[in-house]
Structure formats: C-alpha cells, structure tokens
C-alpha cells in the first residue's frame, strides 16, 4: 500500500523529484521522520513529494519500477530490515548483481557506495538508497540538487497580490514559484530556477519590489532571533493556549539565549493574576479569552521580565471549551513594546488543537514584526 503524504507542483513545471519512505518503523516514528525531512530540506532547500511504502508490500518491485520510469531523481529512505531487499530489486531492474562494498550490499554498477548510502542510475533516473535507522545517524545524501531553490517569506501582502506582482519578475529571471499562506500576515514563497534561471537576481528584485518586507531566513523564529541580536533587544512571551510552544519554537534557534528572557505559561486564571497582574474583575467581566486579558498579560510580562517586547496568547484550542460567543479556534494574540505600543487582534482559526496552537505562534511572531516594522525591516 502507498501513502501519499505531500504533493507539490511548482507553477508551470512538473516536479521530477520524489522521496520514498520504506518501512513501517520509520512511518510511525514522527520525530525520526522530522529528522529525515530536515536533512532533505537542508540539502535541497524544499521538501519534495513524499510517499510511504510498507515493509512487506508485495508490489514493491512494480512500485519502484514505476517511479524510476516516471521520475528524474528518487531518494529512498529505507528501514534496515528492508534495505537488502530494496538493493536487490534495484539491481534486478538494471540486470545487475549485488556485491559487498564498504560493508554494504550494493549493485555492482553503483556510482558510489558508502556506509549506509548508495548512489546509482537506472535508465534516466538517479537513485539514492539510504539506510535510515532510528538508532543511528542518517548517512549522507549523495545526490546533488537539480536547480537552485530558495524558500522565503513576505510579510503583510496578500497571496494573489504577490503572485501578480511576481509574474513578470519570474519570467525575467527564469524562476518557477509556489505560494502558500503561513498565517494571516505571512506568505511563504518557494522559488526554483529553470534551466537558465538567475535566483540571486530574482531575490534581489523581489526584496525591492516588496519594500524589503521579505524574510530570507529559514523560518520566522530564526528571523526574530537574528534581528533581535542585531538590535541588542529581548523578547518574552505570556502564553495560555499555546502552553509554551512560542518559547519552544524560539529556543530551537541557536543564539536564542541572547534575546529570549523567558515565557510565562499562565494556563490557569490564578496564575494570570498572581504572575502577570491580570485583574480578577477583568477575568470575571471579559474572561481569559479576551482583548482586555491579553492587554494585561502583555504589560505584566514586560514589567516582570524587563524585556523590550512581549507577545501574549489566550484562546480556545479545542476540541472542547467553545461557546456561541467564543467558538473553538477563537484566539486573542497581541504584541507590545516597552514604550507601550501595542497590537491585539482576535482570530478565528480552523483545524485541530495542534494546528491552532502552531498557527497562533506564527501569528504572534508576525504581529511582533508588524508592531515595529521600522525596526525589523
């Protein structure tokens, strides 16, 4: 059985790269999958199509033959229990035999065979077979990337406007793009060069076109850390429904300790009052999920931490807890600086609990950027 996880097409060009994940022990191990995807994205700049195949799929040979015939590049992350079988199938598809090379059973015509990773070519398809063991470091990807790629973000522009504004620039520099919304204020653009594309020229012109409201860092958290370090400023979070997620995402970035004071995870109303100084009458009259509560969470976080900025979150992530007035997905998010400048907005987000929390964090980062565009851009 084949499981399609992600399908992506760059506008105007068919994707020729494919990732195969073979083995149930990989498929069900979400942290290990994230590790695999991160390695792949670091190598190629974007995550391509991903397909899962079970260990004992009786049609494995036919599946591999099909993708080899229809794809230009095939990266296979294979569980140790299936590695030898897959290697034998690949050898048979090119009328080859396997031999022991560097302690690894690999086709004799392999371009390169290192410990745990094999590079070979069958017909017009380049294949990198990689042994992916959750208990060891993943071997290197031997395949070279085809065409330059770059993911970047544009702040405070609508996707349709971005697409229209980029159309002539893409043609000028030979670039294909894919656009998706990260949250209300941030759009992600994935760019890939055509045969004679000029990625650097494209990126420079895009920065000018969108008044430099463009983020070329890997994600919003990394951009915030880098900018706050340049400004010698610090940020703190006051978190209710996000439960520390805003802090966790920021702390994934090296150097976060230089700019991050800490996070007040005030899930209970009592802690909102005791730690952040949210007045009890505010909670009684407006509730914790309100503009008034988030305003006091923000000022309390700056006062308690001495930070230059604070971002606060209070909402209903679900699946329970909603009402007619405040349904599941209602989230108030705000950003404030030490001078008292403040943005607080109400959002009605869709999706499950984790998606609502993740989206809330991205919105919080984006609101901080909007609060002081003059500083961050």
Query: Distance from CA of residue 279 to its chain's centroid?
Result: 37
Q: What is the mean pLDDT of residues 285-298?
A: 98
Domains, in order of start, for the chain: 2-131 (3.40.980.10), 149-215 (3.30.70.600), 220-376 (3.90.950.20)
The chain-wide mean pLDDT, for the chain, equals 90
In terms of DSSP bridges, do strands 235-239 and 309-315 run parallel, antiparallel, or are they unpaired? Answer: parallel
Residues 157-189: pLDDT tens digits? 999 999 999 999 999 999 999 999 999 899 999
Q: Which residue has the higher pLDDT, 347 or 56?
A: 347
Rounded to two decimals, the pTM is 0.75
The pLDDT score that the predictor gives to residue 112 is 84
The pLDDT score that the predictor gives to residue 113 is 84
- Cβ partners under 8 Å of residue 14, min gap 6: none
**Side-by-side strand order, sheet with 309-315:** 260-265, 235-239, 309-315, 330-337, 342-348
Rounded Cα distance, 288 and 298, in Å: 13
The pLDDT score that the predictor gives to residue 6 is 36
The pLDDT score that the predictor gives to residue 358 is 95
Can you spell out the DSSP letters for 295-309?
HHHHHHHHHHH--SE
Task: Say if residue 351's pLDDT is above 90.
Answer: yes
Structure tokens at 152: 């970047």
The pLDDT score that the predictor gives to residue 101 is 64
Residues 233-276: pLDDT tens digits? 999 999 999 999 999 999 999 999 999 999 999 999 999 999 99
- Among 230, 217, 224, residue whose Cα is nearest residue 251: 224
| Orientation of helix 80-93 relative to helix 60-70, angle to 10° | 60
Residues 196-209: pLDDT tens digits? 789 999 999 999 99
Rounded Cα distance, 18 and 369, in Å: 36
- Cβ partners under 8 Å of residue 258, min gap 6: 225, 228, 229
The pLDDT score that the predictor gives to residue 58 is 84
- Cβ partners under 8 Å of residue 331, min gap 6: 241, 289, 313, 314, 315, 316, 317, 346, 347, 348, 349, 356, 360, 363
The pLDDT score that the predictor gives to residue 329 is 97
Per-residue confidence band for 94, with pLDDT thresholds at 50, 70 and 90: confident
Half-sphere exposure (Cβ direction) of 363: Cα atoms closer than 13 Å: 24
Out of 32-36, 52-56, 367-371, pick the least confident: 52-56
């Amino acid at each position: 059985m084949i499981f399609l996880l992600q399908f992506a097409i760059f506008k105007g060009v068919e994707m020729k790269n494919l990732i195969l994940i073979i083995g149930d022990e990989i498929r069900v191990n979400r942290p290990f999958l994230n590790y695999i995807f991160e390695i792949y994205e670091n190598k190629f700049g974007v995550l391509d199509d991903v397909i899962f195949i079970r260990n004992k799929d009786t049609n494995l040979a036919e599946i591999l033959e099909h993708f080899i015939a229809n794809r230009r590049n095939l990266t296979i992350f294979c569980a140790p229990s299936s590695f030898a079988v897959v290697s034998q199938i690949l050898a048979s598809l090119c009328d080859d035999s396997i031999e022991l090379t560097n302690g690894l059973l690999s086709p004799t015509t392999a371009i390169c065979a290192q410990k745990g990773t094999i590079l070979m070519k069958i017909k017009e398809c380049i294949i990198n077979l990689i042994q992916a063991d959750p208990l060891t470091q993943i071997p290197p990807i031997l395949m070279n990337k085809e065409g330059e790629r770059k993911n970047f973000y544009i702040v405070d522009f609508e996707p349709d406007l971005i697409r229209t504004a980029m159309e002539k620039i893409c043609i000028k520099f030979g670039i294909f793009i894919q656009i998706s919304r990260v949250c209300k204020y941030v759009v992600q653009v994935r760019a890939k060069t055509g045969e004679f594309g000029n990625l650097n020229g494209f990126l420079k012109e895009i920065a000018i076109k969108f008044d430099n409201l463009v983020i070329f860092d890997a994600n919003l958290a990394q951009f915030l850390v880098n900018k706050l370090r340049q400004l010698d400023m610090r940020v703190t979070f006051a978190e209710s429904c996000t439960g520390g997620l805003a802090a966790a995402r920021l702390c994934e970035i090296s150097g976060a300790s230089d700019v991050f004071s800490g996070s007040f995870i005030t899930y209970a109303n009592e802690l909102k009052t005791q730690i952040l100084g949210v007045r009890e009458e505010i909670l009684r009259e407006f509730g914790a999920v309100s503009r008034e509560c988030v305003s006091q969470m923000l000022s309390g976080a700056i006062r308690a931490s001495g930070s230059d900025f604070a971002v606060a979150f209070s909402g209903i992530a679900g699946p329970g807890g909603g009402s007619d007035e405040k349904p599941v997905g209602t989230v108030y998010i705000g950003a404030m600086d030490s001078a008292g400048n403040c943005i607080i907005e109400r959002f009605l987000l869709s999706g499950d609990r984790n998606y609502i929390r993740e989206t809330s964090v991205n919105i919080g980062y984006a609101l901080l950027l909007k609060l002081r565009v003059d500083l961050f851009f």
